[in-house]
Structure 1
Amino acid sequence: MSDFLAALGLVFVIEGLIFAAFPAHGKKALESVLNTPPATLRLIGLGSAIVGLVIVWAVRG
């Protein structure tokens, strides 16, 4: 559970840094997400989850 919480914390750090360093680009990215069809977002989310799983599997192997 501690590994999960550490990973979740890192996600917040990375996303926070992006919005702090590049707020205009962050807003553009959010607008782009709003204009993307749901099916495309599902595919991107599934792909990201699979890549994340592979990375965790390779590191923790």
Structure 2
Amino acid sequence: MRSGPGIGYTIILGLPNGTLVRVHSCEQSGSTRWCKVSLKQARALKGYVSASYLRKL
């Protein structure tokens, strides 16, 4: 999870596979789609994740 939509932003937290997140919005940055997410168990913690790492449940 990064502080902004791109690899140039600071890493806030490493998310293990299977981590549940809530997607708030997504945007294109270069060739990558980035989604603003919050952790399902800690909603105050928000950041950006590449959409390629997400899958809908």
Q: TM-score, normalised by structure 2?
A: 0.19
Relative to its length, the structure with more strand (as a share) is: 2
Relative to its length, the structure with more helix (as a share) is: 1
Q: TM-score, normalised by structure 1?
A: 0.19
Rg (Cα) greater in structure: 1
